[in-house]
Structure 1
């Protein structure tokens, strides 16, 4: 049976999701997906990630500045594992290390990139200093004076110091996503400072290796690692996809950039997610605003992209999408719907809407393993 855990926004974030939801097909019609209800009572679990070997799912609790672990206890049930662990303001993305030993959380509100340890049973390991402060408060009645979690990585600095946003506001750091690279390093995006940052994982935390500054005002948001080893980055503000590659010296550099679609409108369209087909032949990004899906063909050895098609997503404000069994699943944050789109295997283009379902404020899909 086709099933997905669903992230969503709750009432505190102007949404209607009650927690992590379940989207499932049936045995006779796997592509006829329907919402089966919330399986947790969790405030705004906007992004989900699966442990690589355990039946444990991690949720970014965006409105609560924390990350929570959940253990799968049945075919369609999840139970909390321990308490939520502090990450940072508006934590919006989590990625689990291939080793399963830790996760990286990206925080839009304060720009934090946070490493949070994972125990052998999949539970999150809270910062020891803050846990001790909470224990003293409970036992001795001391005031709780917590510090910045030990796993918080080096803060970003604006490469365009003194510059303002397109609306004339001060630029601030907005960490947005992370990706684990084939060489063991980690890439993160900072949408506010136009940075792609590269890190090395050490026993004491993440150590900044180097940074790549994209053009001012582009707004790098999400990434996908191509089978060729290239890193593709979609930009929220300039509607582009940048391709980065590591040189012989290990330094990553931009090797190409292209508009997601020749008719994308900067200031009207705001790309959200970037996804690829399993073979890496095509990439897809959804444009919030025009509510369309752009198809890009990967050329050469992965270093060049070519926009080839643009189609209606069938939802309002396509927040997230993924390629699943030759189709594209799209989450409409503002329409409270999801759509399943047919794809042309040869051209990669969206052919049309196969199925639509009502879902409360969906923000992320995670296949049930």
Structure 2
């Protein structure tokens, strides 16, 4: 596995409404990947997902509350500092991404994606500039009565924004037009699959969609030239059909594109998936315990040597050393973070 740079800082989101400390700043040990908490701020309620600016000096957070907001923080000190008032977006935003001079928020409860412009200094505009509302539903009687945008991210080319909707079993490809954020095309996935998160292969021509309502991974081709996502098939992310709850939460890919890892809540495991050279025939090779309970998020550090699980209900972030030949992670340690929800690296 190709090894990249070593991260110096990690930022951890958590649910303040469940006893979490808010946005946590941690130091990353260069050799072991161990985390040491430096400080935390609860200036924003329920900062469940975070994203860093390219320069690393500004951290963006969703406030996953019924009202819903985006917030920006400065990162130069051991505790992140709020940079201006939070900006209202849709209800219960669960994810965000930087795209074309904006921060986009995926709003789960209101089923929409909201765009907030960025100033030259990285701060957020006072109000959103546009909102793209999803429509539709799915066959699940409780979870798919309407749209539920769960993730939004820019594609590797930077030309498109992609939103994943659990409620409509679809992925939307979007871009900015004369009327703001507009729909380019919507791609249907298997009814009842409940897509949650998507990750692009580092090569930029494949995408993998993790489904929450069935523990599977949908393999897709991706054509950045015309913004086309093409589903090829599904792969189970668990070796056996679970007897109880099994809700996949996150999918991440190795920097060199040789492995994928997924997390599943309920079974509380990390699945190791090996990728072939083309990326069309992923293969489940192992599952290992996540180190806690209810892994809401996974993150691989930029070096490709360590994997991190944010275990929401056990209140910790566990880190693993990745075997560079097999991709199998081995537990190396953990740090207490009540109601942990995500990890990003700077």
Give the structure-1-normalised TM-score. Answer: 0.84
> Out of 311, 315, 323, which is 1:332 matched to?
311
- How far residue 308 of structure 1 moved from its aligned partner, in angstroms, is 0.8
Q: Give the match for residue 19 of structure 1.
A: 22
Residues 353/251 of structure 1: CA separation in 2 closer, same or farther (3 Å cut): closer
Partner Cα separation in structure 1 for residue 89 and residue 152 of structure 2: 14
Partner Cα separation in structure 2 for residue 164 and residue 292 of structure 1: 24
Q: Give the match for residue 332 of structure 2.
A: 354
Per the alignment, in what secondary structure is the counterpart of residue 152 of structure 1?
A: strand
| Structure 1 residues 233-252: aligned runs within 5 Å | 233-246=209-222, 250-252=227-229
Contiguous gaps of at least 5 residues in structure 1: 128-148
Higher share of residues assigned helix: 1
- Kept in 2: contact 1:154–1:208 (CA 8 A): no
| Structure 1 residues 276-315: aligned runs within 5 Å | 276-315=253-292
Q: Give the match for residue 92 of structure 1.
A: 94
| Structure 1 residues 164-243: aligned runs within 5 Å | 164-165=140-141, 171-183=145-157, 184-202=159-177, 204-228=179-203, 229-243=205-219
Contiguous gaps of at least 5 residues in structure 2: 1-6
Partner Cα separation in structure 1 for residue 244 and residue 188 of structure 2: 21
- Structure showing greater relative contact order (alpha-carbon pairs closer than 8 Å, 6 or more residues apart): 2
- How far residue 307 of structure 1 moved from its aligned partner, in angstroms, is 0.7
Larger Rg: 1
Residues 266/253 of structure 1: CA separation in 2 closer, same or farther (3 Å cut): farther
Residues 164/321 of structure 1: CA separation in 2 closer, same or farther (3 Å cut): closer
Partner Cα separation in structure 2 for residue 249 and residue 360 of structure 1: 43
Partner Cα separation in structure 2 for residue 314 and residue 330 of structure 1: 8
- Kept in 1: contact 2:10–2:343 (CA 8 A): yes
Give the structure-2-normalised TM-score. Answer: 0.90
Q: Give the match for residue 70 of structure 1.
A: 73
Aligned-residue CA RMSD (Å): 2.1
> Out of 56, 59, 62, which is 1:57 matched to?
59
User: Is 1:9 aligned to 2:15, yes or no?
Assistant: yes
Residues 223/68 of structure 1: CA separation in 2 closer, same or farther (3 Å cut): same
Partner Cα separation in structure 1 for residue 255 and residue 36 of structure 2: 25
Partner Cα separation in structure 1 for residue 29 and residue 228 of structure 2: 48
Pairs aligned (count): 334
Q: Give the match for residue 125 of structure 1.
A: 125
